Structure formats: structure tokens, C-alpha cells
Amino acid sequence: MLTLFKSFALTTILLIFAVNMTSANDTIPKAKESKWFDKVQIRGYVQVRYNRLFETNPDLGCEQCDRSWGDNSGFFIRRARIIFFGQLSPRVYMYIQPDFASSVSSSSLHWAQIRDAYFDVGLDSKNEFRFRIGQSKIPFGFENMQSSQNRLPLDRADALNSAITNERDLGVFFYWAPARVRELFSSLVRDGLKGSGDYGVFGFGAFNGQTANRPEANNSQHLVARLSMPFRIGSQIVEPGVQAYSGRYVMQSSQLSSGVKTTGDRNYLDQRAAATLVLYPKPFGILAEYNVGRGPEYNPATDSIETRDLTGGYVTVSYMVQSGKMTYFPFVRAQYYDGAKKHEQDARAHKVNELEIGCEVQFGRNFEFVAMYTNSTRTTSDKANEFNRQSGRLLRLQAQLNF
């Protein structure tokens, strides 16, 4: 009897334990299956400008720089961008950036347009080797790759930015960088040191060559290559680099004035090489770039678009001062360019001499303000105006929201 009682008691205890365990398991929530959209993040920024203070020449402007330069301009939304990005899986990364303030002309503002739409595919577990597929920035020029959200001067310098309007095109690019260098590239942006982002130590790719949001116009893609390596010297970080691209650019009929002479197929050699030197602002900084090349350019002497030489560069000197939650970046930039802008009317010829003195003030992470005084002389030549020389000075202001 005693043995039977013990067996019954033990059985009862085991049953009670089993029921309790079942109840407990029913109350523990099951791990939520991760969806791709759970890994997508959103950020963005908005820039509002005013360029008319102390303006000495309302005819001075820069079509590629900022369409609110000059006469009949006022407050202007330069950029309004929302960025969707995320590491969807260990080896697949996505980045989509529309701009809701694109200016297709001086009288047609705030159009929505794709700036970036690409994905990175890693070839190894650390994504040190990867392919970038889609519309993205062309790896030519540090300032071109640097986000306008981070850049100190309000516009990119003409000398290198004239290479590729909006800095982007559709193509496939291969990037390589060791994991430790990729982390350094990220920290240079994250820590507010005005980095360009992660475009690898070595990059190589092929792209259409007609610039962003335009279809290919011949059967010959452009090729680009870049080599850049950041390294530490004491407390400073230095990044030298070299880059080059080559291809053939097609002048579209919409870019040509009536009667301007061109080659029979309107195809022109389009190639450049550039050198870059960056000393990150810790606290003193220098950014210098210079490029040479050949491309289509209007020649008033022959009233034709010809393949001609181009040359130019810039130097930006800056200093970072931190005071409490405020950060100050006083800067000076001098630039020079003698060459064409192939994407403008008649491949308009340009000669630019410009000096800019300014300061960026960061009020925490969400708001910053830039004041920049510009002293500029710009001479352009196209079919409508074969010699248009404009000199002037103005104070330019920009408020930027980061979110």
C-alpha cells in the first residue's frame, strides 16, 4: 500500500509540473520573425537659402550651383530629401534617396526626382568586397562624393563638379576596403569630421555617362577608377587619393542652339584625371583637389562644339571649434576653373575665379546654419552670348534641418 501511495504521489507531482510547464510555455511570446522592412531606416534633411544680401551684381549667377542666384530670386528650398536605407540581409544593403526640391529650370521648382537608387551586394562575410548596382554617385572627386548635408561651402566647386551634373549616373561599381577602414570611413561622417562616406579604398565601375536620370545615348559606357586610403598621423587623419574616368558623351539636340556646329554623331571624348588631398579637421582641416582632362566645349571662334582641354581645382581650409553643444566650422575656399560644362547649353565654356569665406554653426544634431560671403568672377561663352563676364560679391545664407 505504501509503495502504491508513493507511486501515486509521484505521478501526481509530475502531472502538476507538466501542466504548469505547458501553461508557462503558452504565456511566453514566440520570437517575432524579422521582416525586411523591419531593417529599413529613414533619415533626411532640408536646406533653405537666401542669396541676395549685400549683392553687388544681380547678373552674377551659376546655373549648376544654385538657381536662386541673381535677379528676381528670393527664399529658396535647395534640397528636401528623405533617405530610405538598411542592411536587408548580411550581404545585401539598400539605399534610395528622392529629392522633393529639384529645380528643372529657374521657373520650375520643387519637382520630385530620384537622386540615388542602388543596392550593395557583398561578396564575403565582412562585405569588404562588394558590388554597387543602380544609380549612385560616381567615385570621382572627394567633394562630389561628400553629401551636401556635410559639405561646408554651399555649392561644390566648379572644377570637379562640372564633370558629372548631380554627381550621379546609372551603372555597376566594384568597391573594396578592409573592415577596419570601412569603420573609419563611417566614423569620419558620424563624428562630424566632414567625411565623404564609404566608397572603398579601391573602386572601379562602368556607367552610362549621360549623367543622372538620363538614358544612355550611345553604345559606349564610361569607365571610372579611384584609389584612396585614409591613415592616421598622431591625432590627425590624412586621406590622399587619385581618380580618373573616360568615355564618350553625346550632346543632345535639346542642349544645342540653332546653327551651332557639332560632329556628325554629336559624340565627344569625355575624360578626366584628378588628385585629392584631405586633412580632416581635428581641429585644423584642408581639402584640396585638382583635375585635368578633355571634353566638349563651345568655341566662339568657329561657332562649334569641339573637344578641348580643361583644368582647375580648389582648396578649402577649415577649423573645428566645439563649445558645449555648439560646433563652429569657419572656412575659406578658393577655386579656379577653365573649361566647359558639357551638360549646359552648347557645352558652355567657363572661366571661374572665386573666393568664399564662411562659417557653419551646428546647434546640436538637428539644426545648423551657414553664412558665406562670396567674391566671384565668372566668364561664360555660348551661342547666345559669346562673352558674358560677370563679377560681384554677395552674402549667402542657409538653414539646414537634419532628421
pTM across the whole model: 0.89
Q: What share of the chain is helix, strand, coil (3-state, %, to 5)?
A: 15, 55, 35
Domain boundaries in the chain?
A: 36-402
Residues 6+ apart with CB under 8 A from 141: 160, 161, 163, 167, 243, 274, 276, 289, 291
Give residue 24's pLDDT: 43
CA–CA distance from 210 to each of 162, 214, 293, 342 (Å)?
13, 6, 17, 10
Cell numbers 503558452 correspond to 26
Reported in sequence order, the residue ranges of 194-325 that DSSP labels E, i.e. its strands, are 202-207, 222-228, 231-233, 236-250, 267-279, 284-299, 304-319, 321-323
Locate cell 565601375: which residue?
Answer: 205
Q: How many CB atoms lie within 10 A of CB 355?
A: 14
Residues of the chain with pLDDT under 50: 1-26
CA gap 63, 344 in Å, rounded: 8
Mention the CATH class of domain 36-402. Answer: mainly beta
Asked if 376 contacts 354 with a C-beta cutoff of 8 angstroms, the reply is yes
The answer for residues whose C-beta is within 8 angstroms of residue 38's C-beta and 6 or more apart is: none
d(CA 78, CA 100): 10
Instruction: Spell 197-227 as b/e; 16+ CB within 10 A means b.
Output: ebbbbbbbbebbbbbbebeebeeebbbbbbe
> In 18-47, which positions are buried (b, 16+ CB within 10 angstroms) versus exposed (e)?
eeeeeeeeeeeeeeeeeeeeeeeeeebbbb
pLDDT on residue 125 = 96
User: Which amino acid appears at position 268 of this protein?
Assistant: Y
What pLDDT does residue 29 have?
A: 56
Is the Cβ–Cβ distance between 317 and 331 less than 8 Å?
yes
56, 122, 47: which is closest to 89 by C-alpha? Answer: 122
What does the pLDDT read at residue 6? 42
Give the pLDDT confidence score for residue 66 in this predicted structure: 93
Contact (CB, 8 A) for 163 and 156:
no
* Contact criterion met (CB below 8 Å) for 165 and 141: no
